[in-house]
């Protein structure tokens, strides 16, 4: 899997950038794309390109979230799953984070941004439990995480989504979600939704981005699009569960 500098290992300028990313983007965690860019040595450059344009970033993220939610609503619903408070908080955090990260990818790559009116981007919880270390998860949960990572249209990127690792904090939920999610992401409707969300707007033919950075952004565009759609399908499943209990 790809390299990263985890939050608990960050020091100096990287730790300061991580703290600023959490605070300025309204997120309780620093998502994998930032941690990978830190490992590549491109964190500061990427964050500088974004933090001076936060209003535009938020507007683009809200538009992408709206588009993703519309596409997710067209996918077959998932069955009821045993979502606890911890899983709901994690999913809400990644829903906001993945919307912002998808917008960040396009902004840094120089893609044309939407000028349409935008809805409001949902807030994330102020705190969620820290991401567990993958190597310290029970082997049965590591295997589930890796099977889910290999199931979606972003599997060829080699990126292990942190959302699945984080959801291992609710083992019953992760176990119950594995088969329905694997079935969902294999469906033509989901693959078509992913292709539409991951399609990049026009961008300059020649950019000043280092090749390693451009390659990383292309790969994350594919994986983040998948995880945003999947998370929204899981969030819709939560609402169906709550309605069933009434």
Q: Does the residue 39 lie in any domain? A: no
Q: Does the residue 36 lie in any domain? A: no
What's residue 246's pLDDT?
40
* SS3 sequence of the chain: CCCCCCHHHCCHHHHHHHHHHHHHHCCCCCCHHHHHHHHHCCHHHHHHHHHCCHHHHHHHHHHHHHHHHHHHHCCCCCCCCCCCHHHHHHHHHHHHHHHHHHHHHHHHCCCCCCCCCCCCCCCCCCCCCCCCCHHHCCHHHHHHHHHHHCCCCCHHHCCCCHHHHHHCCCHHHHHHHHHHHHHHHHCHHHHHHHHHHHCCCCCCCCCCCCHHHHHHHHHHHHHHHHHHHHHHHHHHHHHHHHHHHC
Token pair for 164:
């699945």
Residue 135 belongs to domain spanning: 54-245
Q: Does the residue 72 lie in any domain? A: yes
- Alpha-carbon distance of 232 to 183, in angstroms, equals 16
Q: Does the residue 216 lie in any domain? A: yes
Token pair for 95:
């829903």
What's residue 203's pLDDT?
81
Q: Each residue of 25-72: pLDDT tens digit?
A: 999 999 999 999 999 999 999 999 999 999 999 999 999 999 999 999
Instruction: Say whether pTM exceeds 0.75.
Output: yes
Number of domains in the chain: 1
- Alpha-carbon distance of 73 to 89, in angstroms, equals 21
Q: Each residue of 156-194: pLDDT tens digit?
A: 999 999 999 999 999 999 999 999 999 999 999 999 999
- Residue bearing the bigger pLDDT, 10 or 236: 10
Closest CA to 28 of 131, 115, 102, 108: 131
Q: Does the residue 102 lie in any domain? A: yes
Is the separation of the CB atoms in 62 and 118 below 8 Å? yes
46-60 residues labelled b (16+ CB within 10 A) or e (exposed):
bbebbeeeeeebbbb
Q: Does the residue 169 lie in any domain? A: yes
Q: Each residue of 79-89: pLDDT tens digit?
A: 999 999 999 99
Q: Does the residue 32 lie in any domain? A: no
Q: Does the residue 130 lie in any domain? A: yes
Token pair for 58:
């938020």
């Amino acid at each position: 899997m790809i390299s990263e500098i985890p939050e608990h290992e960050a020091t100096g300028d990287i730790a300061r950038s991580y703290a600023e990313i959490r605070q300025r983007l309204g997120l309780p965690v620093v998502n994998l794309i930032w941690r990978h860019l830190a490992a590549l040595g491109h964190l500061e450059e990427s964050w500088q390109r974004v933090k001076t344009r936060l209003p535009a970033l938020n507007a683009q993220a809200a538009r992408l979230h709206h588009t993703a939610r519309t596409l997710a609503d067209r996918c077959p619903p998932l069955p009821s799953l045993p979502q606890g408070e911890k899983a709901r908080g994690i999913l809400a955090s990644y829903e906001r984070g993945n919307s912002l990260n998808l917008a960040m990818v396009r902004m840094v790559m120089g893609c044309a941004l939407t000028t349409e009116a935008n809805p409001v981007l949902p807030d994330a919880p102020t705190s969620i439990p820290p991401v567990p270390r993958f190597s310290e998860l029970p082997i049965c949960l590591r295997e589930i995480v890796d099977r889910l990572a290999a199931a979606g249209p972003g599997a060829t990127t080699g990126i292990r989504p942190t959302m699945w690792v984080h959801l291992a904090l609710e083992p019953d939920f992760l176990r119950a979600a594995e088969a329905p999610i694997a079935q969902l992401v294999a469906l033509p409707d989901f693959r078509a939704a992913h292709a539409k969300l991951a399609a990049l707007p026009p961008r300059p033919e020649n950019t000043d981005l280092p090749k390693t950075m451009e390659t990383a952004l292309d790969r994350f565009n594919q994986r983040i699009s998948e995880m945003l759609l999947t998370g929204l399908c899981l969030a819709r499943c939560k609402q169906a569960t709550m309605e069933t209990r009434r």
